Structure 1
Amino acid sequence: MIFDKLKKFDIVFDSPEVDCPPVYSSGDVVSGRVVLELSGESRVDSLKLHAEGFAKVHWTESRSAGSSTAYTQNYGDEVEYLNRREVLLQADNGEVTVLPAGKHEFPFSFQLPEETLVTSFEGKHGSIRYWVKVKLHRPWATVRKIKKEFTVIEPIDINTPALLAPQAGTKDKMARAWYRSFGQVSVTAKIDRKGYTPGEVIPVFAEFDNSTSRSVVPKAFIIQTQTFIARGTMKQKRSVVATLCGDIVGAKRRETWHGRAIKIPPVGPSILQCRIIKVEYMLKVCVDVPGTSKLCLELPLVIGTIPLHPFGSRTSSVSSQYSVNLEWLRMAIPEQPEPPPDYSSVVTEEEAEQRHNAVASQQAEDLSGILERPLMAFVQEFRFRPPPVYSEIDPNPQLINMRPRCMTC
């Protein structure tokens, strides 16, 4: 039978690395081949390829119209990003093509839209997927189908002024339980920029002022928020992807974080350009007060794909484009770096004496080339000796009579 002759039917994407699936972005060319392996001669009507990309959301909610009436409300929407068709095999005159036994490969290639696509995503109430579907039509046989997804990641460069801008905030609240007030607790926090990439460490600078009569616990979280939108209704799912727990702050005490580190796990990048699906991140700095609700301060984050450029690109480019934010300076938490160690604790006396002798000998050897250097080069090296110590008593009284006298005296 015809079904027995088709031993292999597969889609293989071209990849620069072996055993590593390719990743694409808008404007890239997706290429590959469709592999057919036949055990015997087979007749084929056509072999067609269809590339698609959609963002889809769907969820249900139970509704009640009365004491005895209940129904389910469905919500759904979709956005199309890719729709390409290509014929890989089909005779021009509509006749059947006979393929001999063996392995056959049919290459394909198409370009993704130049418009900004949306990063592939899988969520609880929706997804963003891209795939290639191939259909094999044969006479007197059911249509064979195969589908294979590919990944699209839209680049997010955090080396932009908006994402390199520092983020800061302050918040306070009165801690109450029933009719009793325990006092006020406040939190001030800042981070050096808004954009980060997975694997980076975020130094958190924060100050916790506990004016209550109870001990509090400061914490920090990285929160991912998935938002699904359909028919004017929103569905959200929040999850904690990283946690940082601080030390207990006693009553009437204050605690300061001088760059406490919280690491970003391998999460997907932010999705901000899709109409029905959004993936957003935030740094949440909280104070857990026993007996009452938490005090939380939220700082927005953007998880990108292109990491921070080296060699201080922030100070060179962003400082010229961003004006100084006085509010940021006023609420800045002082950073107190540790003092450097004493020289004697790092270098022993023997090592110090050896280095001094080495420098002295090197200076003696280099005197041969002094006259070849310009005179002005030595101006900065010259140092005046300090003036002698002033004294009311003449150290050389015997020289008084030897000094010249004025003729009018």
Structure 2
Amino acid sequence: MKVKKEFTVFEHIDINTPLLLSPQAGTKEKTLCCWFCTSGPVSLSAKIERKGYTPGESIQIFAEIENCSSRVVVPKAAIYQTQTFYAKGKIKEIKQLIANLRGDPLPSGRTGTWDGKMLKIPPVSPSILDCGIIRVEYSLMVYVDIPRAVNLTLNLPLVIGTIPLHPFGSRTSSVSSQCSMAMSWLGMSLPERPEAPPNYSEVVTDEQHQNNFELNAVRDELEGSLFAYIQEFRFQPPPLYSEIDPNPEQAIITQDRRSDVCPSR
């Protein structure tokens, strides 16, 4: 008895990586010949913003087509899926079209541009790149359809992922470079060793100290002794322990007796 069961194989691919966020571009040129007559060249330049996309996104295609031949050409674009199977030393490859678009015909001696022409990616399975028996790859083909001649084709690789683009994913490299520049500037501006705090005499001079006492005398008569007491110690250093407790030995003996009665845990 033989039973067949279909199952889906996929790997999670995060497109928020520098490799998949890098732009893809290319340029090609072709000269048309008909017997002994040579026509002018047809050139194609195309660029997309990044390599990684997720299903449902639209690819912005920027292209420039220059037609110096004597024929009318048509710029086109298409997304192809290539499935490759490896088994018992044999390879089987299946290539199919999943999305395409068509531009306006371009007469002889004219130049056409695509300023962000959109091509939507349908709901397809993600790319499989790290499997030994199955590979699923995608490519964007931007080409010029030339009558009675081989088309001028430019292939740009694509990776269809499962984790969509983060809102700040495209700014990762610029933000990291700005951060590194800021850190290098910060390291240059800061001193290697922190400076010691200034002495009390350097902050408050004798003249300020004397003026403070005179001001306290005046405010004492006007506002009372409490305000004068606060202002008197405004510029004073902290008091010594002997000034607070004239009998420190008696305090230590009292503390020892309390410890004997209530020992700490």
TM-score tier by shorter-chain length is 0.5 to 0.7
1:151 Cα deviation from its structure 2 partner: 4.8
Shift of 1:161: 0.7
Q: Does 1:314 align with 2:162?
A: no
1: distance between equivalents of 2:9 and 2:96? 23
Counterpart AA for 1:189: A
Partner residue of 2:36 out of 179, 183, 206? 179
- Equivalent residue, structure 2, for 1:158: 15
Paired with 2:6 and 2:83, the residues of 1 have a C-alpha distance of 22
Q: 1:211/1:260 Cα in 2 relative to 1: closer, same or farther (>3 Å)?
A: same
Q: What's 2:68 paired with? A: 211
Counterpart residue number, 1:295: 152
- Structure 2: gaps of 5 or more residues: 178-265
Mapped contact 1:161–1:321 kept (Cα < 8 A) = no
Q: 2:224 corresponds to which residue?
A: none
CA contact (8 A) 1:224 1:238 kept: yes
Tell me which structure has the larger Cα radius of gyration: 2
Deviation for aligned residue 1:320: 5.5
Contact 1:175 1:289 in 2 (8 A): no
Partner of 1:246: 103
C-alpha RMSD over aligned residues: 2.4
- The alpha carbon displacement at 1:229 in A equals 2.6
**Amino acid of the structure 1 residue aligned with 2:26:** G
Q: How many residues end up aligned between the 2 structures?
A: 177
Q: Which runs of 5+ in 1 are unaligned?
A: 1-145, 323-409
Q: Is the 1:195–1:304 Cα contact (8 Å) retained in structure 2?
A: yes
AA at the equivalent of 1:277: I
**Residues in 2 aligned to 1:227 and 1:168: alpha-carbon distance in whole angstroms:** 25
Give the counterpart letter for 1:280 in structure 2.
E
Asked if 1:261 is matched to 2:112, the reply is no
Instruction: Give the drift of 1:148.
Output: 7.4
**Structure with the higher strand share, 1 or 2:** 1
Conserved? CA contact 2:79–2:99, under 8 Å = yes
Judging by fraction of residues, say which structure has more helix: 2
What residue number does 1:286 align with? 143
Amino acid corresponding to residue 260 of structure 1 in structure 2: K
Shift of 1:262: 0.3
TM-score by length of 1: 0.41
Distance in 1 between residues matched to 2:5 and 2:84, nearest whole Å: 27
Alignment check: 8 A CA contact 2:10 2:125 kept = no
Task: For 1:278 and 1:301, locate their aligned partners in 2 and report how far apart those are by CA, in whole Å.
Answer: 13
Q: Is the 8 A contact 1:222 1:282 kept in 2?
A: yes
Q: Which has the higher contact order (CA 8 A, sep 6+)?
A: 2
- Show the 5 A alignment for 1:344-383: none
Is the CA contact 2:10–2:127 (under 8 Å) kept in the aligned structure 1? no
Specify which of 120, 127, 133 is matched with residue 270 of structure 1. Answer: 127
Instruction: Tell me the residue number matched to 1:11.
Output: none
In structure 2, what is the Cα distance between the partners aligned to 1:282 and 1:171?
17
Aligned equivalents of 2:147 and 2:5: distance in 1? 52
Match of 2:216?
A: none
Per-residue displacement from partner, 1:206-265 (whole Å, max 9, x unpaired)? 000111011100000001111123454433211110001000011011000000000000
Identity of aligned residues (%): 58
